[in-house]
């Protein structure tokens, strides 16, 4: 039997008999012929039957042998004629909406309830090709910077971050929790490998039912040692983002074109503004005066993004020096003005995309920071032990993968860029 | 300030002043000089002081500027003279064992209790460099075969595989479970992407306290559609294994050398023997007669591995056609002899390393298979829905990452190749 080729490879085989396989995407019965469009992972192929083939409907899995003929008006400029069709597998039910229509006609709940079949729609699938290419680019960028990939526990003995939103587990009769981030482990492993990254699930028992909260998401975490301050972390993040976008362009060009996604340019150096200077700008140029507030409101982030675009032609903007009071206890203060932190947010198209910064690295600093926040040092025993053995100045960041893709594609609900989302109300499929 | 360089880069800088940074690995005080060995992610560097430096001990984090001088008897053939030392961070406690000794002198419990500092020992760290390189090679091999990377839920609504060993979660007041494998999701996504892989954590509430059981491990899962039978899955697994080993050789050569690891050759085609033929061989050539048994005993696997080495010069051997009774319900039978399955085990150096095979793909076959095993079809509702919409013949495999590294390095306890293992008794650090 001749080897299977993909739909996208057909133009290279005009005049030859080939074999393709895929799903029946669409059938059109005309007076004298029937067109069957077959979908495989590479795209669509048109097959021409003189008699309507029997026993096939949308999503029937078929194999077709045929002669490749040039036909300018067909997809890819070719079609398969003189076909022999073999039925591989029949559907037992119809799809919940038409997968062959260019636009997705179903509502989000219908899509999510029927994810295994809904994701076959080329526009929905394309989003996840962009996600996959992004992750490949993230890893390639960090591998090139001498990072080591790690795999850390998702079951932890104590809930060290924002204690309320953790999932509890019965762990052989003991209490345990699902990890909200690999923060502890990635910091500990800076002591071993200096530079580490992890791509893995994190869990938040998020009681809010919003377009941007998930109970599980994929976190792209990086942490590096022997830094001077947060600016080296920002430089690495810039490399990671550039690598992700380069990989999307290189590996998911077809998906980008289908979705008409606008892939941003990453400046060689992403512009940065200090939190205090950002507030001054907002006070001067907008109707509001946010000075003295400990955080930026969404409207402020949007204004600053537009300002960065006008001023630097950049869709990305770093805001640095967030007040210590709004950052986690492990955040390193700015030595020159200790109420400010050596941390940053990366804004992209008006929204916060990534948070990161320099961490404390001295044992005594951790003890003081925990005491100052009224935290029980005993809870953080394992965490503290890491810093008892000599840790270099270090910092890192975390990118939410589903959020990344949503922002890149201008999708407003993060569930749409998650294959099988988990939230307050959704545990299936 | 001059840029930091790594210890391994020193030989290229003889005659120049450079800056290095790292941990004080060891100090040796002689009559007229003190040697301080600094460890960074690339290796070791010897620094020569005329006066013993003050305030440093093992694992102190330091920065050293100095002149690179050739010295054949030093590590790398160079040392740093005329040093200026800056103290970056001091340890608050001594390591639990000497990290500078060539061999690891601590017991496994001491290593695991003190993992963040114990893993700094070059021999322990090296294992995880081999792990990281293996994963990179796995992905590169499958990316090259047009696979798409996926990220699937680790929280699931029903426990579909070996129901007893699941961890329960309180999911916003509902019962939920930690996923024991991405089996359901990777099969569903064959319907979308045809070829998928996932590298992620899986969870087993394993009540056995043995050297090969973990509550969480990293699974390298792959699944592919449009196959004829399990032999195409075996060919892809062969590519994945070859890619992993090539990456280890390329990216972790120093770790391989340090651990004196023996990296196997992968034959272009891994030899395969049918389960029934394997039992015949065992009956003929050993003192036992296992014919009629539904599985192979560990001693049988060892004998077969040795036989494959003698007969084919291969450290790898596929055993195919395991009896259906010992395989999961979604396993595809051999159409020619339905009591046998289209599944396989890959034996490596006497032990089972990977399990895989062809899966059922027709809705009606799933309903029958579940009914035949007395399973409640209702529990498998979401799983069944996948097959209602036309699924191609498909199959896949899963490699346990920690087990892979353990087998490759000849390590008997899988906890040793896990950064922070989780088991019946261990939930920290």
ipTM of the assembly? 0.97
pLDDT band at A365 (very low <50, low <70, confident <90, very high): very high
Chain B positions touching A119 (Cβ under 8 A) are 189, 191-192
The values of phi and psi at residue B272, to 5°, are -135, 145
pLDDT, tens digit, for every residue of A256-278? 999 999 999 999 999 999 999 99
Choosing among A192, A197, A209, which should be mutated to test the B contact, i.e. which has the most B CBs within 10 A? A192
Q: How far apart are CA B153 and CA A421, in angstroms?
A: 7
Choose among A59, A148, A155: nearest Cβ to B427: A155
Asked if A160 and A328 count as a contact pair (C-beta separation under 8 A), the reply is: no
The reply to whether B59 touches chain A by the CB within 8 Å rule is yes
Q: Do B392 and A178 touch (CB under 8 A)?
A: no
The reply to whether B271 touches chain A by the CB within 8 Å rule is no
Mean pLDDT of B267-280: 98
Asked if A62 and A88 count as a contact pair (C-beta separation under 8 A), the reply is: yes
Q: Tokens representing B49?
A: 């002081």
State CA A225 to chain mean position distance: 25
Q: Do A192 and B116 touch (CB under 8 A)?
A: yes
Q: Do A148 and B135 touch (CB under 8 A)?
A: no
Task: Tell me the percentage of chain B whose pLDDT exceeds 70.
Answer: 99
pLDDT at A376: 86
Q: How far apart are CA A97 and CA A105, in angstroms?
A: 7
pLDDT, tens digit, for every residue of A30-83? 999 999 999 999 999 999 999 999 999 999 999 999 999 999 988 889 999 999
pLDDT, tens digit, for every residue of A278-319? 999 999 999 989 999 999 999 999 999 999 999 999 999 999
Please report where in the chains the tokens 């840029």 appear, as a residue: B3
CB atoms within 10 A of CB B134: 26
Distance from CA of A241 to the nearest CA of B (A): 19
Q: Do B150 and A169 touch (CB under 8 A)?
A: no
Judged by average pLDDT, the poorest of A14-23, A296-305, A332-341, A371-380 is A371-380
**According to the annotation, is A362 in a ligand binding site?**
no
Asked if A25 and A99 count as a contact pair (C-beta separation under 8 A), the reply is: yes
Distance from CA of B216 to the nearest CA of A (A): 7
Number of cross-chain residue pairs from A and B with Cβ atoms under 8 Å apart: 244
Task: Compute the C-alpha angle A203/A124/B160, nearest 5°.
Answer: 50
Q: How far apart are CA B275 and CA B296, in angstroms?
A: 8
Task: Please tell me whether the peptide bond between A429 and the residue prior to it is cis, using omega within 30 degrees of 0.
Answer: yes
pLDDT at B159: 75
Asked if B59 and B76 count as a contact pair (C-beta separation under 8 A), the reply is: no
Which residue, B114, B3, B130, is CA-closest to B63? Answer: B3
pLDDT band at A391 (very low <50, low <70, confident <90, very high): very high
State CA B96 to chain mean position distance: 26
With a CB-CB cutoff of 8 Å, which residues 2-21 of chain B face chain A? Answer: 4, 21
Q: Please give the C-alpha separations between residue A304 and each of A265, A409, B274, in angstroms, as whole numbers.
A: 18, 21, 67
Q: Tokens representing A135?
A: 């992750």
pLDDT at A379: 84
Q: Are strands B34-40 and B17-29 parallel, antiparallel or unpaired?
A: antiparallel
Distance from CA of B426 to the nearest CA of A (A): 9
Q: Tokens representing A153?
A: 């526990």
Could you say which DSSP state residue A148 is in? E
pLDDT band at A139 (very low <50, low <70, confident <90, very high): very high
With a CB-CB cutoff of 8 Å, which residues 306-365 of chain A face chain B? Answer: 361-364
The SS3 assignment for B1 reads coil
* Closest Cα in chain A to B226: A21
Mean pLDDT of B285-294: 93
Chain B positions touching A419 (Cβ under 8 A) are 150-152, 185, 189
* Closest Cα in chain A to B132: A149
**Buried residues in B308-338 as b, exposed as e (16+ CB within 10 A):** bbeebebbbbbbbbbbbeebbbbbbbbeeee
Give yes or no for residue A159 having a pLDDT over 80. no
pLDDT band at A415 (very low <50, low <70, confident <90, very high): very high
pLDDT at B162: 55
Q: How far apart are CA A384 and CA A311, in angstroms?
A: 43
Chain A positions touching B215 (Cβ under 8 A) are 155, 171-172
The SS3 assignment for B113 reads helix
pLDDT at B206: 85
* Average of per-residue pLDDT values in chain A: 96
Mean pLDDT of B207-215: 89
* Cβ neighbourhood burial of B229 (10 Å; 0-12, 13-18, 19+): middle
Give yes or no for residue B345 having a pLDDT over 80. yes
Please report where in the chains the tokens 């073999």 appear, as a residue: A86
pLDDT band at A209 (very low <50, low <70, confident <90, very high): confident
pLDDT band at B244 (very low <50, low <70, confident <90, very high): very high
Chain A positions touching B216 (Cβ under 8 A) are 153-155
Q: How far apart are CA A355 and CA A344, in angstroms?
A: 6
The SS3 assignment for B137 reads helix
The reply to whether A144 touches chain B by the CB within 8 Å rule is no
With a CB-CB cutoff of 8 Å, which residues 192-211 of chain A face chain B? Answer: 192-195, 199-201, 203, 205, 207
Residue ranges of domains in chain B, CATH in brackets = 7-89 (2.40.50.140), 118-417 (3.30.930.10)
Judged by average pLDDT, the poorest of A1-15, A154-168, B72-86 is A154-168
Judged by average pLDDT, the poorest of A122-131, A150-159, A373-382, B7-16 is A373-382
Q: How far apart are CA B94 and CA A390, in angstroms?
A: 9
Q: Do B176 and A427 touch (CB under 8 A)?
A: yes
With a CB-CB cutoff of 8 Å, which residues 81-100 of chain B face chain A? Answer: 88-93, 95
Chain A positions touching B149 (Cβ under 8 A) are 132, 135-136
**According to the annotation, is A408 in a ligand binding site?**
no
Chain A positions touching B151 (Cβ under 8 A) are 131, 201, 218, 401, 419
**According to the annotation, is A152 in a ligand binding site?**
no
Q: Tokens representing B182?
A: 């991405």
pLDDT, tens digit, for every residue of B166-177? 999 999 999 999
* Closest Cα in chain A to B96: A389
Mean pLDDT of B221-231: 98
Judged by average pLDDT, the poorest of A162-166, A369-373, B223-227, B282-286 is A162-166
């Amino acid at each position: 039997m001749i080897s299977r080729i993909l739909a996208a490879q057909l133009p290279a085989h005009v005049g030859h008999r080939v074999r393709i396989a895929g799903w029946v995407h669409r059938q059109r019965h005309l007076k004298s012929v029937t067109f069957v469009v077959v979908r495989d992972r590479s795209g669509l192929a048109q097959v021409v039957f003189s008699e309507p083939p029997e026993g096939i409907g949308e999503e029937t899995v078929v194999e077709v042998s045929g002669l490749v003929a040039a036909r300018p008006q067909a997809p890819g400029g070719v079609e398969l004629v003189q076909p022999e069709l073999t039925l591989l597998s029949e559907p037992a039910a119809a799809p919940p909406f038409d997968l062959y229509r260019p636009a997705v006609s179903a509502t989000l709940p219908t899509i999510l309830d029927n994810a295994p079949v809904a994701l076959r729609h080329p526009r929905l699938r394309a989003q996840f090709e962009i996600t996959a290419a992004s992750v490949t680019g993230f890893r390639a960028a960090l591998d090139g910077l001498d990072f080591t990939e790690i795999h850390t526990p998702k079951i932890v003995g104590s809930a060290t971050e924002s204690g309320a939103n953790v999932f509890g587990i019965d762990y052989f009769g003991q209490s345990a929790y699902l990890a909200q981030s690999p923060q502890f482990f990635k910091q500990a492993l800076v002591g071993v490998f200096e530079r580490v990254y992890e791509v893995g699930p994190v869990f938040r028992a998020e009681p809010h039912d919003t377009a941007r909260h998930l109970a599980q998401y994929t976190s792209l975490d990086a942490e590096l040692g022997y830094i001077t301050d947060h600016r080296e972390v920002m430089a690495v993040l810039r490399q990671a983002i550039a690598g992700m976008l380069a990989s999307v362009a290189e590996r998911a060009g077809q998906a980008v074109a289908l979705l008409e996604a606008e892939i941003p340019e990453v400046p060689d150096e992403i512009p940065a503004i200090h939190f205090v200077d950002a507030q001054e700008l907002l006070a001067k140029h907008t109707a509001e005066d946010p000075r003295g507030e400990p955080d930026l409101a969404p409207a402020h982030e949007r204004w600053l993004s537009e300002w960065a675009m006008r001023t630097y032609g950049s869709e990305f903007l770093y805001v640095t020096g967030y007040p210590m009071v709004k950052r986690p206890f492990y955040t390193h203060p700015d030595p020159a003005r200790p109420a400010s932190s050596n941390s940053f947010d990366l804004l992209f198209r008006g929204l916060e995309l990534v948070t990161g910064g320099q961490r404390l690295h001295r044992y005594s600093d951790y003890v003081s920071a925990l005491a100052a926040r009224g935290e029980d040092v005993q809870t953080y025993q394992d965490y503290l032990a890491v810093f008892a053995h000599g840790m270099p100045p270090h910092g890192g960041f975390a990118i939410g993968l589903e959020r990344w893709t949503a922002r890149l594609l201008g999708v407003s609900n993060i569930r749409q860029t998650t294959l099988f989302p988990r939230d307050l109300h959704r545990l299936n499929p």
